[in-house]
Amino acid sequence: MLDSLCIQHQDASAEQSDILNNIYWLLNTRQGTLQHMPELGLVDFAAYSNDDEGRRDYVREIKELICRFEPRIHQLMVRICDVDQSDCLLKLEFTAKTCQENPLYFSSILLMNGEILVK
């Protein structure tokens, strides 16, 4: 019984790691980069106005992108957080559930250079 629980935990951990790696890749791919899938990726943040409405629009695009291209999660919720780093333009917190109903919590930080870190 204990072995079964350990294996389930390892499987859930590996699944979450794989999901986060995929989300990192999705968020750091610029829309139009792949000719066979031009809708894959994000438009550069600079295309959005740097006000509350622009940030909300960008977050909506992020959520739609993840929901479309990461089918292993559902019930995705995104929250804009206060930025507490000088090299950070936007900080987000995410909650979701995996297909196995395991909770998934992660955050992302949009850096000044355009890279989005996922933790």
Nearest 5 degrees, angle CA 46-CA 107-CA 101? 130
Q: What is the pLDDT of residues 53-111, one digit of tens each?
A: 989 999 999 999 999 999 999 999 999 998 877 888 899 999 999 988 999 999 999 99
DSSP string, 43-54: --GGGS-SSHHH
Sketch the domain layout of the chain as residue ranges.
2-118
pTM for the structure as a whole: 0.85
CATH architecture for residues 2-118: Roll (3.10)
Query: 65 in helix, strand or coil?
Result: helix
